[in-house]
Structure 1
């Protein structure tokens, strides 16, 4: 089955790509913090939302921030999503506010922080300081479908990708997309989460019962919120509301929406039957005995 997803030697590479500890990364990821994680200056009351890209990160962050502000939307509507919640490993000179390390330094505690780093590249001190971790995961077929569209929508980050989905799927299955192999990423964090005080959320479960996700996050962070506040936060963070928000979606800036569909099962519009069967074979082999399963619809 490895031959089915075999990559051409001249596979697509993002601008400024580099590999660090076997993980494929891009120039907008600050390499010096991978080499010197103490630069992050982690605090024990930091709260991290961690995920592989295109797994429901933005939604989870918006829910969490509103919970940490007891449902008050004032801060949420003060500046855009990326400026409010530091993306810790991010550094893009053309957007100074999106320098993760500098943004962390000026945030008051408790800080809400975002990362897509696999666990073996994550600042290890954070794993032993009592920090809060909210990990959100999405079924990998929808993840790769959404990531493919994101590559095309963000040329400033991922270059001028014009390949078709089948080619992108090969990149994904070989770990040659930014942040590397989905299976290694997911299993690495899953192992850590099972033995530590962390919250694990599945995107598909959040879609089925968004209010339950709000309740789980609030409980995990020890926020005792009334039903009216829980309902307000859940409604405020609905996909339709976030997509319409100029503080969360960036359609007017990028020309294409940052938030696309937010749907489950969209992979069926992209995978061929052969790709689906080959993917399932790889998935079943690599995820066996993990105890982790997904809703594919």
Structure 2
């Protein structure tokens, strides 16, 4: 890792340090939001969908939405995906005017809340209250392929070399660590 917090191009627009030298966070995961989650009110009837990026978040979200609406497809088919997929760590960022945690705080119960956060950045009340938590995993090979393809097409992220991504993934490094190590190899 670099000795300073300076990010070299193209990463300065895509990632920021979250205070630990061993990882970076995607810029849409705003520093203020990450810190504010320490005081985020968790409700006992919340349903958290916790996933690694590209591990099936949207697929599980649709299933949970159907379950929470007792299978009434008419109630859910008019919802826009942007209104359903709300990662609590996002914003404010370009295209995200209000931080997601603020928006979710105003929702009536029960709430569906998604996150890609590692356990140490989750709202502490998740561990003291009793929300439902759905932890989603995916075949690592499929997840890695999907992550690589996604990174190459999403405009706010920089492409990552396939061999580098796979090597870091196999070593057990998370998405955040993969790209922070890419900085140190340049």
Q: Compute the TM-score of the two structures, normalised by the length of structure 2.
A: 0.77
Which range moved further: 52-61 or 68-77? Answer: 68-77
Which range moved further: 38-47 or 96-105? Answer: 96-105
- 1:64 is displaced (CA, Å) by 0.5
CA deviations on 1:100-143 (whole Å, 9 max, x unpaired) are 11220232100001000111111111122001100010122221
Residue 61 and residue 97 in structure 1: after superposition, are their counterparts in 2 closer, same or farther (change >3 A)?
farther
Which range moved further: 53-62 or 28-37? Answer: 28-37
Within the candidate set 146, 162, 165, 1:168 is matched to: 165
The aligned counterpart of 1:261 is none
Instruction: Supply the distance in 1 between the matched residues of 2:88 and 2:109 (Cα, whole angstroms).
Output: 15
- 1:72 is displaced (CA, Å) by 1.2
- Find out whether 1:13 has 2:4 as its counterpart: no
The aligned counterpart of 1:105 is 105
Q: Compute the TM-score of the two structures, normalised by the length of structure 1.
A: 0.50
The aligned counterpart of 1:61 is 61
Compute the RMSD of aligned alpha carbons: 2.7
Whether the aligned pair in 1 keeps the contact of 2:41 and 2:125 (CA below 8 Å) is: no
Whether the aligned pair in 2 keeps the contact of 1:97 and 1:103 (CA below 8 Å) is: no
Instruction: Supply the distance in 2 between the matched residues of 1:114 and 1:63 (Cα, whole angstroms).
Output: 13
Whether the aligned pair in 1 keeps the contact of 2:33 and 2:91 (CA below 8 Å) is: no
Q: Structure 1 unaligned runs (5+)?
A: 1-9, 182-297
- 1:174 is displaced (CA, Å) by 6.7
The aligned counterpart of 1:120 is 120
Residue 14 and residue 76 in structure 1: after superposition, are their counterparts in 2 closer, same or farther (change >3 A)?
farther
SS of the residue 2:76 aligns to:
coil
Which range moved further: 169-178 or 82-91? Answer: 169-178
Q: Structure 2 unaligned runs (5+)?
A: 1-7, 179-186
Which range moved further: 112-121 or 41-50? Answer: 41-50
Indicate the structure whose relative CO is greater, using CA pairs within 8 Å and at least 6 residues apart. 2
- Find out whether 1:96 has 2:93 as its counterpart: no
Residue 152 and residue 14 in structure 1: after superposition, are their counterparts in 2 closer, same or farther (change >3 A)?
farther
